[in-house]
Amino acid sequence: MISPPMPRRVALISVHTSPLAQPGTGDAGGMNVYVWQTATRLARRGVEVEIFTRATSSADAPVVPAAPGVTVRNVVAGPFEGLDKRDLPAQLCAFTSGVLRVEAMHKPGYYDLIHSHYWLSGQVGWLARDRWGVPLVHTAHTLAAVKNAFLAKGDTAEPMLRVIGEQQVVDESDRMVVNTETEAYELVSMYNADRSLIDVVNPGADLEIYSPGSRSLARAELGLADDEIVLTFVGRIQPLKAPDVLLSAAAPIIERSRTQGRKVRVLVVGGPSGTGLAQPTALIDLTAELGISDAVTFLPPQPSDRLAQVYRASDVVAVPSYSESFGLVAIEAQACGTPVVAADVGGLSVAVADGHSGVLVDGHDVEDWTAALDGLLATPGRLAALAGNARNHAEQFSWEHSASRLLACYSDAMTSFAARNPGSIAAASVRRSARPWRRHRTRVPAGQG
């Protein structure tokens, strides 16, 4: 029996944000975590991963050996600072040139496959695919049509430039990776994608870092009182993520708690991003308007080990986003044994088991969110039961499972591309990698994980 092909080296493209950046700042978020965690897991399976990202500082080294088997290449494209995602289309020519030049320094066939993340990267990957003769796998992470259909109040619609760019990438990709079946449906219904070319790969969490621990020790480390009820938001501060919904919903709970002799605190962890940069003090101003400034603590984005302490210190983590392709925060919190209250949108309906590990709220009406939070806080037994189930639910979503599914996707992409292009570099790579199955016992077959 012949084993399916496995890539030796993958060119992973992440134009607008580096996996080495701190999530929760600027444009860095869940995609950073996804890129880094899958890259390192693939490297552990014997796949060399080279990540191309845009240099954002003159201090960025051109090549960074980031982990065993993982190299980050900082490509100079435009000014180092002062550009956000909306400015980057004008720099795609320069970025693409930098990517192509790296490959040109090697013999043909240096990369076996390209995996692009976000539509900007897909534009680069599409051109590199044609130049190198290897398949392009694309992950959108978010889609303009979906964001525009569920636009947050006060937010700005995604431009037609992006919608058209995403359509081009969908049309050109050899395979696409999505987080959930919901996202697959959105690609088919909104972008006319071919469902047979879409693979569902659930993201995960680092289950070693994000694990249950002492709430008292976590609170002591964060300067929180043991007798407080702590409601937490983690993420980029922008209308899409809706931290204002949590603050507004918590306000009447905080007011009542003052007369009942109990303490309720809202913890907001993250930094302004995207359209939120236009009003960086908006949440602080809102807490003042609501009269709850003394009950809200703002923390900057946290490294993963300290973020785990934030989750452990919390009674509930809220994810009120208007649009979310998956919701890594929800999985990370549950992995730490903390129940989640989330909006019933996108991938959150998969990330949170409604009534088992958390609660899903239909919509963003503040009164509905107040009722959902109140209902949990008023029934400690139910809250404890959700907390007890949270870890077990999160264990279904590990980065090891994600890596296994990605390898299966890569194998399918290489095989089908080679069949369509028998004289291509990819075809030669597939022939070279063909070995008896018994020689690859560490390889996880497609369908597992």
> Which residues are part of a known binding site for Mg(2+)?
311-312, 314, 338
Reading the block at residue 357, the tokens are: 């590990």
Distant-in-sequence, close-in-space partners of 288: CB < 8 Å, separation ≥ 6: none
3-state secondary structure of 10: strand
CA angle 47, 50, 52 (to 5 degrees): 150
- How far is Cα 124 from Cα 92, in angstroms, rounded to an integer? 7
Helix 160-172, helix 181-191: angle, nearest 10: 100
- How far is Cα 123 from Cα 96, in angstroms, rounded to an integer? 9
159 in Cβ contact with 181 (< 8 Å): no
Strand order in the sheet with 358-361: 296-299, 263-269, 228-234, 316-319, 340-343, 358-361
Phi and psi, residue 400, nearest 5°: -65, -45
3-state secondary structure of 324: coil
Q: List Cα–Cα distances, 187 to 70, 140, 144, 328, 338, in angstroms.
A: 30, 10, 11, 21, 32
- How far is Cα 47 from Cα 166, in angstroms, rounded to an integer? 28
Q: For the chain, what is the total number of helices (H) and then of strands (E)?
A: 16, 14
Element (H, E) at 24: none
39 in Cβ contact with 68 (< 8 Å): no
Q: What does DSSP assign to residue 354?
A: B
- How far is Cα 254 from Cα 207, in angstroms, rounded to an integer? 33
Provide the annotated binding site: 16, 22-23, 27-32, 85, 118, 142, 162, 236, 241, 302, 311-312, 314, 324, 332, 338
| Cα atoms in the Cβ-side hemisphere of radius 13 Å centred on 241 | 27
Provide the annotated binding site for UDP-N-acetyl-alpha-D-glucosamine: 22-23, 30, 236, 241, 302, 324, 332
Bridge partners (DSSP) of residue 341 are: 318, 359
Reading the block at residue 404, the tokens are: 């296994």
Provide the annotated binding site for 1D-myo-inositol 3-phosphate: 16, 27-32, 85, 118, 142, 162
3-state secondary structure of 417: helix
